[in-house]
Structures are given as structure tokens and as C-alpha cells.
Structure 1
Amino acid sequence: MQENHYYVDTLRLVTDLTNTPVTDLADLRERCARIRLDIPARPRDLAEVRALVGRWVEIVDAASEERRVALLNALLAEAAAYPRITDHDGTGWHLHYRDDDVPLAAALRAVVSVAAAQHLTATGMHRLGRCALPECRFVFVDFSRGGRQRYCSRVCANRDAVRRHRRKTAR
């Protein structure tokens, strides 16, 4: 399955915002600009994005697929708008699932909810998780081919592999 870069970038952004919380409006603007979400940020957006991150954590940590879908559907309902075809950033025609002239936090909520829905329905509801390394526990979106990602990064996977190897050879 070919992933849409727009969705992948959006899911990487919400993962980044979760694992490394936003510090201030300038930080929020800079991170959103990376995915070409160049909307002026208001002071209220900071609190609303932090609330979105809290809801994202609930979706990631959902105990069942049904719960994950219910939480994601609630987020999608709040972001309901007519889809629009646009080439606002010169990267080619693509769909926007948000109204024009919405605040940054509302736009982010819309793109995150649609990106997650697209990714999870196309690849499987299990493609969100937390790092298996006990001292890490960062969240991740599984973009792997096989859909069996257990760690947030290669660093954590390697650290755990070394730990297992040392335990095994110490016997």
C-alpha cells in the first residue's frame, strides 16, 4: 500500500507533539510548518493542541479496536467539513478535510483525525502503540511493511536487543 505523504507527515507530527510536548507558540508554529500547516497560531491554540495530544494518547492507549474507533470517530465528528481539493502549497493536488480559515488547533485536529482514520483503516487498527522498552514508552505509529513494530525507534530496539543478549550470555 502506498502511503500518502500528507498523512504520514501529519501522523509523525502528532507523534512528535506527544513524545516531545510543545513548549510555546513559536515551537507549535515551527512544527506545524514542517507539514505545511502554515496557519497563524493564537495563544488559545497552544492549550487546544495540548488537549488534542491528550486525546491522541487515549486513542493510542485504547484497550480494544472498538474503543480506538469510537475515540477516533468522536475526533472525526468534531472536524467534520466538506473535503476540498487544493494545491495551496504547490506540492500537487490533494484533499483537505477542513474548512478554510479555521484556527490552527482546529486544522490540526482535522488533519490528525483524517490521517489516523486513513492509515488505520488501510493498514489495521493495531498500527498505534507504545515503545516496548519499559523505560521509554514513547508512542509510535507503525508504518512498517509487516505491521509488527514494537519500538518507537531503532535506538530503543537495539538497546533492548543488547539487554536481552547480555542477559542470555551472562547465564
Structure 2
Amino acid sequence: MGAVGRLAVRQDVLESWLTVVDADTPRLRAERLNELLAETSAYPRLTDHAGDGWHIHYRDSDLRLGAVLRALISVGTALHLTGRGMDRLRHCALTECRLPFGDFTRGGRQRYCSPTCANRDAVRRHRAKVSRLTHS
């Protein structure tokens, strides 16, 4: 498979995952994630396939790239949501960004994908406030 084919596979995997991020209820999020899990994940098993130490795989060993990505992303997302909360996936609050992210904060109130976006939005709010005060 060429680079263009691999890119298309990755894009398809990410588009499928975004349907989970975009789900507006925990039940719908779980349904969409269960569909992804059913496609490629498998029962957990211990493996030392590379000789670099034992670890858990949640997928069969003979999968192609797209299926491996789908399995890793869907299992990782399931572990994140069940461990942190079903509402711990969202899009960045910065309008021009909107990247999806997993919220790992203690309180579960992360609004931005990165400190850069949080700072950019804070500067924008500050400038808007100063502008309102100076034009009043």
C-alpha cells in the first residue's frame, strides 16, 4: 500500500473515531465506540512479540495498519472513558482550533486542547474587555 493509501486509511480511522467524540449523549458515545471495538478489537492477551517485555494486546496479531489503528484508538478511548468518565472527550473551545482531545484533568473541566489555545483565548478575552472599557 502506498503513502496515499495509508493516508486514506488513517483518515477513515480518524473520521470513525470523531463520531465517538461528537456523540452528544453517553449512550450514543458508547454505541458508536462499541461499533468500533467490534470491528477490530479482540480479547486481551499477554504478548512479548518483540522481545521487549510483556504487555497486553487487545487485537489480533495479523491485522493491517488501518485495523491496528482502529483497535488501538478504540480500546484506548474505551479505557479512557470508563476510567475518567464518558464526558471526557471534547473539542477545543477555541473557535478556530476545534481539535478533539481527551480530558485528563482531575476535575474534568478542561476546555482547550493545549495551553497555547487557552492562552490565545485568554488574550482575546482580555483585549475585548480592554476595548469595551476604553470605548465606553
Question: Which residue number corresponds to residue 40 of structure 1?
Answer: none
1:62-94 Cα offsets, whole Å, 9 max, x none, are 111111110000001112423220133455322
**1:128-170 CA distance string (max 9 Å, x none):** 1111011111111112222111011111100111111122223
8 Å contact from structure 2 (residues 41, 58) kept in 1: yes
Structure 2 partner of 1:115 = 76
Please point out which of 130, 147, 155 is paired with 2:108: 147
Counterpart of 1:94 in structure 2 is: 55
- Equivalent in 70, 76, 92 of residue 131 of structure 1: 92
Letter in 1 for 2:94: L
Taking CA–CA contacts closer than 8 Å with sequence separation of 6 or more, which of the two structures ends up with the larger relative contact order?
A: 1
Aligned to 1:82: 43
Residue 66 (structure 1) aligned to one of 4, 20, 27:
27
The structure where strand makes up a greater share of residues is 2
Larger Rg: 2
Task: With the length of structure 2 as denominator, give the TM-score of the two structures.
Answer: 0.86
What 5-or-longer segments of structure 2 have no aligned partner? none
What is the distance in 1 between the residues matched to 2:119 and 2:51?
Answer: 39
Q: Secondary structure at the match of 1:140?
A: strand
Query: Is the CA contact (8 Å cut-off) linking 1:131 and 1:150 kept in structure 2?
Result: yes
Residues 155/99 of structure 1: CA separation in 2 closer, same or farther (3 Å cut): same
| Partner AA of 2:107 in structure 1 | G
Q: Deviations over 1:31-86 (max 9, x none)?
A: xxxxxxxxxxxx65433322111111111111111111100000011124232201
Q: Does the 8 A contact of 2:41 with 2:75 survive in 1?
A: no
Structure 1: any 5+ residue segments left out of the alignment?
A: 1-23, 26-42
Q: Which residue of 1 aligns with 2:126?
A: 165
Q: Percent same amino acid at aligned positions?
A: 56
1:98-140 Cα offsets, whole Å, 9 max, x none, are 1112111111111111110011001001111111011111111
**Aligned residue in 2 for 1:12:** none
